[in-house]
């Protein structure tokens, strides 16, 4: 399968500019799945979009969106911008998201300004972590809080006790990814993951991709 994907990628890349291909490689060198972000029932669509952009800008490849309360409300938002470069995993329940992330080897980290949370700059970045963010009004549910392996909060010294979720997410993602890149931790995507994303991004960059792939399959079937 890997050999086939490489052949398909080589064929499809013939439809891209050199600048585009080099851009993919440059960006993918800085992508990571060491951290993944999870959003629980965020009601404001612009916040979902903003967190997605923060993931993309700071190199987090996967965003997990839990749609337990408000249903599939993010369709229109997902169709815009950064989703082309970030993988969005969608879950109907909090529990299914937690279970999936644990199965992938992530510890569950809850963001909350309350209880005995670890300060952001003291957070241990060595373990793969799924960092959960809650709703704008009520924060994370007890379901996440009770199952979390750890808690983090942003140090604040003013009267205001909380930040907008998109601001909180940007601060936390920027901090942990910056420290990650300065560490000796193996945080890069694997070669297979890079190949998969190059193929995915190349497909998304080509008009009439279905027609072009059909031509490829016809070509190899004659060999």
The domain locations on the chain are 33-185
Is residue 79's pLDDT more than 50? Answer: no
pLDDT tens profile 49-77 = 889 999 999 999 999 999 866 555 554 55
Is residue 80's pLDDT more than 60? Answer: no
On the 0-12 / 13-18 / 19+ scale of CB atoms within 10 A, 25 is: exposed
Spatial contact of 53 and 77, defined as CB atoms under 8 Å apart: no
Is residue 187's pLDDT more than 80? Answer: yes
Residue 54 confidence (pLDDT): 94
Three-state DSSP state, 62: strand
Residue range 33-185, CATH number: 3.40.1280.10
What percent of the chain has a predicted confidence (pLDDT) above 90? Answer: 67
Residue 72 confidence (pLDDT): 54
Q: How confident is the model at residue 212 (pLDDT cuts 50, 70, 90)?
A: very high
Residue 84 confidence (pLDDT): 85
Three-state DSSP state, 220: helix
């Amino acid at each position: 399968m890997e050999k086939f994907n490489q052949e398909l990628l080589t064929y499809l890349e013939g439809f891209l500019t050199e600048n585009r291909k080099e851009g993919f490689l440059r960006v993918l060198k800085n992508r990571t799945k060491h951290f993944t972000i999870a959003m629980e029932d965020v009601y404001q669509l612009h916040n979902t979009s903003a967190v997605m952009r923060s993931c993309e800008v700071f190199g987090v490849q996967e965003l997990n969106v839990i749609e337990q309360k408000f249903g599939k409300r993010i369709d229109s938002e997902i169709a815009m911008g950064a989703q082309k470069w970030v993988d969005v995993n969608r879950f109907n329940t909090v529990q299914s998201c937690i279970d999936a992330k644990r199965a992938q080897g992530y510890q569950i980290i809850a963001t909350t300004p309350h209880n005995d949370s670890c300060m952001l700059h003291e957070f241990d970045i060595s373990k793969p972590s799924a960092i959960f963010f809650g709703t704008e009004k009520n924060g994370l549910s007890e379901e996440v809080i009770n199952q979390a392996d750890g808690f983090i909060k942003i140090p604040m010294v003013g009267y205001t006790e909380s930040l907008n979720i998109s601001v909180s997410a940007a601060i936390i993602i920027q901090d942990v990814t910056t420290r990650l890149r300065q560490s000796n931790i193996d945080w890069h995507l694997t070669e297979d993951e890079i190949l998969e994303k190059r193929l995915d991004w190349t497909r998304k960059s080509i008009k009439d991709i279905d027609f072009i792939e059909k031509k490829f399959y016809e070509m190899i079937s004659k060999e």
